[in-house]
Structure 1
Amino acid sequence: MDYFDVSQHWHPESEKYAGGDALVTLLAEGWEIQREVGVEDRFFAGLRSVSVYHLTLKRGDETMKMPVIRNPYINRIIRLGGYEQVNIEDMK
């Protein structure tokens, strides 16, 4: 997939959720999204909600969990990659 030339570092101790640019950076560095993707809807102030994808990424023998805020570009990555979307409570 084409994406702007962006490099963005993310660490779970510095930010609770990652943006799409941080995910794209990891994919460019050789990390791979695992088949099962958790989906969580977070509700704020009544009816306002934000969806979060909970991803497991692997590179060699390294594994990383990454919650990514849903946006149209990340939706496209998940859809075109054929990943299995499950409710966050049902993740293995």
Structure 2
Amino acid sequence: MPRTVVRVGAALPALDEETRRAERPAADVPWQTVVWNDPVNLMSYVVRVFREYFGYSAERATELMLAVHHEGHAVVSEGPREQMELHAQAMHDYGLWATVRRAE
């Protein structure tokens, strides 16, 4: 059986970001919970949900709420897919529109 020899200090070719992302195991890729703007919930209620559920400060919760309001959506959390799915379900339970997506 042939042996592979790796020299210490040998330079490895640089990988571009797309190649590195493609080679990461699926479980290693971060996911995001995204909250979307809706015509139903008050801005003060969205701030309260973000503070209560995620534990964000009033300033951070307000910043995220304003992103939802002005940009149409905001990433409110990032991490493993299963956890982001739980967060999205919790947002649904609060009456907010939320989805899960792979981090860009």
Q: Which has the higher helix share?
A: 2
Q: Of the two, which has the highest radius of gyration?
A: 2
Q: Which has the higher strand share?
A: 1
Q: TM-score, normalised by structure 1?
A: 0.27
Structure with greater contact order relative to length (CA < 8 Å, sep ≥ 6): 2
